[in-house]
């Protein structure tokens, strides 16, 4: 079989990771074309790619277009790419809630790929890692309520935010200079926390928090789940962490939850809390560069019969974006949905 012609649109934090993941995929590939705003050369994993300016005609002959540009890039070129015959897998928020666009996490709702119309959306990074961890529990007992508090790394904002945290940390810590200028965030992020990701709605929730609500409803096909979230940006370079509390219809004990999650695809449980054995919980430094969603601190609520706490950590650039997008392409290939 001839391999697929792939276009990667955007070569920032997610685009670079996409090239890394594509170098490791089993998907048959004929060619990888890299498109962005400005043409230049980039090197990823020892391979040099010539980046070309994104134009509609660049999508002629492309089988799979993986979008990792800004929302503007997706608005301008995603539907154009579909018109020219490409299957588009889009990392931006642009089309996620459109009715005829499947929003897919392969471990959770791969069957939604079957009704695609050329464009598939990749969910938000905080949503992906949460639903990977919650779906196996949901299959055991319906989840009625979710409270999430997130601790989100700066890589989730893109390459400029990574550079900003590095620069502010150097200024503040090494040179003892006070940081006055900020670009990626409204406030200093080094040695600080910012309890706002995105813009506020009338009820005081941010757009990131609402993404976790609406996308989880769509992916789990259950708009009845009562979900609220508080999303916080933290001075961590990579990997998002989440403290998630759920209430289920039937009681699931902590031990049963650990067993269910140990058997579930894409999950690694690190959870043996013991005063003798020392630390046994996942942290961002454990998840960096890894494919799995890590779960720990699983414990029952002593006051609520069907309440369970979980701590969920994942690499937001990999499972939260690039890896999930490539896994969607792999799943479509397996299902014979890619037409080659
Ligand atoms: N970072 C994450 O963890 C994460 C997770 C899930 C989803 N996402 C989404 O993934 C997308 C990329 O995020 P990122 O973090 O990689 O951002 P980034 O580091 O800021 O990179 C943005 C890329 O988009 C390209 N671009 C901008 N405008 C464009 C246009 N009009 N046409 C073509 N390319 C254009 C830029 O091109 P130049 O290089 O030429 O400037 C750059 O390569 C965003 O939609 C983001 O919301 C990110």
**Residue 180 pLDDT level (bands cut at 50, 70, 90):** confident
* Residue 45 and residue 69 in contact, taking contact as beta carbons nearer than 8 Å: no
Please report, for residues 93, 259, 261, 272, 274, the alpha-carbon distance to residue 278 in angstroms, rounded to integers and kept in the order given.
40, 21, 22, 9, 6
What local confidence, expressed as pLDDT, does residue 181 receive?
Answer: 73
* Residue 74 and residue 93 in contact, taking contact as beta carbons nearer than 8 Å: no
CATH superfamily, with its number, for domain 4-122+320-334: NAD(P)-binding Rossmann-like Domain (3.40.50.720)
Q: What is the pLDDT of residues 202-253, one digit of tens each?
A: 999 999 999 999 999 999 999 999 999 999 999 999 999 999 999 999 999 9
**pLDDT higher than threshold 70 for residue 1:** no
Q: Is 81 in the pocket of ligand 1 (CB under 6 A)?
A: no
The reply to whether 127-316 shares the fold of 4-122+320-334 is: no
240 is catalytic: yes
Q: Which of 120, 127, 134 is nearest to 65 (CA)?
A: 120
Q: Is 126 in the pocket of ligand 1 (CB under 6 A)?
A: no
Q: Which atom of ligand 1 lies at the shortest distance from residue 77's CA?
A: 32
What local confidence, expressed as pLDDT, does residue 182 receive?
Answer: 76
What local confidence, expressed as pLDDT, does residue 171 receive?
Answer: 86
Q: What is the pLDDT of residues 327-340, one digit of tens each?
A: 999 999 999 999 75
**pLDDT higher than threshold 90 for residue 276:** no
Measured between alpha carbons, how far is 244 from 254 in angstroms, rounded to an integer?
14
Burial of 195 (0-12, 13-18, 19+ CB in 10 A): exposed
Q: Is 19 in the pocket of ligand 1 (CB under 6 A)?
A: no
Mutate to test the pocket of ligand 1, among 68, 159, 184, 318 (most ligand atoms within 8 A of CB): 68
Q: Find the 157 Cα to ligand 1 centroid distance in Å.
A: 9
Measured by CA distance, the residue closest to atom 4 of ligand 1 is 156
Q: Which of 263, 262, 264, 284 is nearest to 272 (CA)?
A: 262
Q: Which fold has domain 127-316?
A: Dihydrodipicolinate Reductase; domain 2 (3.30.360)
Instruction: Choose, from 125, 231, 239, 333, the residue flagged as catalytic.
Output: 125
Measured by CA distance, the residue closest to atom 24 of ligand 1 is 69
**Residue 277 pLDDT level (bands cut at 50, 70, 90):** low
Q: Is 317 in the pocket of ligand 1 (CB under 6 A)?
A: yes
Q: Find the 126 Cα to ligand 1 centroid distance in Å.
A: 17
E strand map for 71-186: 87-90, 119-121, 143-152
Q: What is the CA radius of gyration of the chain?
A: 20
125 is catalytic: yes
Q: Find the 158 Cα to ligand 1 centroid distance in Å.
A: 7
Q: Which atom of ligand 1 lies at the shortest distance from residue 240's CA?
A: 3
Q: Is 123 in the pocket of ligand 1 (CB under 6 A)?
A: no
Query: Domain extents for the chain?
Result: 4-122+320-334, 127-316
What local confidence, expressed as pLDDT, does residue 173 receive?
Answer: 76
Measured by CA distance, the residue closest to atom 41 of ligand 1 is 37
Q: Find the 160 Cα to ligand 1 centroid distance in Å.
A: 10
Q: Find the 68 Cα to ligand 1 centroid distance in Å.
A: 5
Q: What is the pLDDT of residues 33-64, one digit of tens each?
A: 999 999 999 999 999 999 999 999 999 999 99
Share of the chain above pLDDT 70, in %: 98
Q: Which token pair is 79?
A: 């539907």
Query: Hey, CA dihedral for 71, 86, 79, 213, is it positive or negative?
Result: negative
Mutate to test the pocket of ligand 1, among 36, 51, 88, 161 (most ligand atoms within 8 A of CB): 36
Q: Is 5 in the pocket of ligand 1 (CB under 6 A)?
A: no
Q: What is the pLDDT of residues 6-41, one digit of tens each?
A: 999 999 999 999 999 999 999 999 999 999 999 999
Q: What is the pLDDT of residues 95-139, one digit of tens each?
A: 999 999 999 999 999 999 999 999 999 999 999 999 999 999 999
Q: Find the 15 Cα to ligand 1 centroid distance in Å.
A: 7
* Residue 28 and residue 44 in contact, taking contact as beta carbons nearer than 8 Å: no
What local confidence, expressed as pLDDT, does residue 275 receive?
Answer: 67
Please report, for residues 127, 244, 311, the alpha-carbon distance to residue 219 in angstroms, rounded to integers and kept in the order given.
9, 17, 20
Biggest alpha carbon distance in the chain? 63
Q: What is the pLDDT of residues 132-152, one digit of tens each?
A: 999 999 999 999 999 999 999
Q: What is the pTM of this model?
A: 0.97
């Amino acid at each position: 079989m001839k391999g697929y012609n792939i276009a990667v649109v955007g070569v920032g934090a997610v685009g670079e990771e996409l090239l890394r993941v594509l170098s490791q995929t089993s998907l048959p590939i004929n060619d990888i074309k890299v498109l962005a705003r400005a043409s230049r050369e980039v090197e990823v994993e020892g391979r040099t790619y010539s980046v070309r300016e994104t134009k509609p005609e660049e999508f002629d002959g492309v089988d799979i277009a993986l979008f990792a540009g800004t929302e503007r890039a997706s608005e301008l070129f995603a539907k154009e790419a579909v018109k020219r015959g490409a299957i588009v897998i889009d990392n931006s928020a642009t089309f996620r809630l459109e009715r005829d666009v499947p929003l897919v996490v392969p471990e959770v709702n791969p069957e939604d790929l079957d009704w695609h119309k050329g464009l598939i959306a990749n969910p938000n990074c905080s949503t992906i890692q949460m639903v990977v961890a919650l779906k196996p529990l949901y299959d055991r007992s319906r989840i009625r309520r979710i409270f999430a508090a997130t601790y989100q790394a700066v890589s989730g904002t893109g390459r400029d935010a990574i550079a900003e945290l590095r620069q502010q940390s150097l200024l503040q810590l090494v040179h003892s200079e006070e940081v006055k200028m900020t670009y990626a965030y409204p406030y200093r992020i080094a040695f600080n926390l910012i309890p706002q990701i995105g813009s506020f709605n009338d009820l005081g929730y941010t757009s990131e928090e609402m993404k976790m609500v609406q996308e989880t409803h769509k992916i789990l096909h259950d708009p009845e789940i009562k979900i609220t979230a508080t999303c916080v940006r933290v001075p961590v370079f990579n990997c998002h962490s989440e403290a998630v509390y759920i209430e289920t219809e039937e009681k699931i004990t902590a031990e049963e939850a650990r067993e269910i999650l140990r058997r579930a695809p894409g999950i690694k449980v690190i959870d043996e809390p013991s005063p003798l054995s020392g630390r046994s919980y996942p942290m961002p430094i454990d998840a960096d560069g890894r494919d799995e969603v890590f779960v720990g601190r699983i414990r029952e609520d002593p006051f609520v019969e069907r309440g369970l706490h979980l701590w969920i950590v994942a690499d937001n650039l990999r499972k939260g974006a690039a890896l999930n997008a490539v896994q969607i392409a792999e799943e479509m290939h397996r299902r014979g949905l890619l037409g080659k």
